[in-house]
């Protein structure tokens, strides 16, 4: 009897489109004041960065984590859940990196306001393949303004 080793099962990364669905679901929790799910979608490496819609920036997981928690803290739950749509303009993958550019728009309850407030952002996110999934490594968001 020969000792034939079976090859290990190939590690197939989570498809990028499935990751985007999870990121968008985490974003819905974010605009209701909960940063837990979005933090799970981020890489926890020292090279991550964020240029937040409120004008702040952070580099490295500890700073980015605090930025995400602070950003979520600006939102709150309301009688009706805030909701933000993500319209992807472009996306692509090359090797272990992927990106999306999108418009995020909708309404969310902000702390200190009784009525939901509009959310209109231009967003670029970069992802890196880590283990069997994709993790966010950079986000740049700014307010979408009308052209003059």
pLDDT digits (tens, 9 = 90+) for 37-80: 999 999 999 999 999 988 889 999 999 999 999 999 998 887 66
- How far apart are the C-alpha atoms of 67 and 75, rounded to whole Å? 13
Contact in structure between 63 and 48 (CB atoms under 8 Å) = no
Residue of 49, 57, 110 lying closest to 82 (CA atoms):
110
Q: Whole-model pTM?
A: 0.87
Residue 23 Rama label (left phi>0; alpha psi -120 to 50; beta): alpha
- How far apart are the C-alpha atoms of 97 and 79, rounded to whole Å? 39
Locate all alpha helices (DSSP H) within 54-104, ordered by sequence: 61-72
pLDDT digits (tens, 9 = 90+) for 8-46: 545 667 899 999 999 999 999 999 999 999 999 999 999
């Amino acid at each position: 009897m020969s000792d034939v080793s079976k090859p290990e099962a190939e590690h197939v990364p989570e498809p990028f489109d499935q990751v985007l669905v999870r990121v968008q679901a985490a974003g819905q929790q974010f605009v209701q004041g909960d940063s837990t799910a979005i933090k799970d979608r981020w890489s926890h490496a020292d090279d991550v960065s964020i240029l937040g819609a409120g004008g702040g920036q952070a580099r490295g997981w500890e700073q980015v984590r605090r930025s995400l928690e602070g950003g979520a803290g600006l939102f709150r739950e309301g009688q009706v859940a805030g909701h933000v749509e993500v319209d992807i303009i472009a996306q692509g993958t090359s090797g272990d990196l992927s990106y999306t550019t999108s418009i995020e728009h909708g309404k969310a309850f902000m702390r200190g306001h009784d009525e939901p407030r509009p959310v209109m952002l231009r967003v670029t996110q970069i992802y890196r393949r880590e283990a069997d999934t994709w993790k966010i490594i950079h986000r740049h968001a700014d307010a979408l303004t009308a052209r003059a």
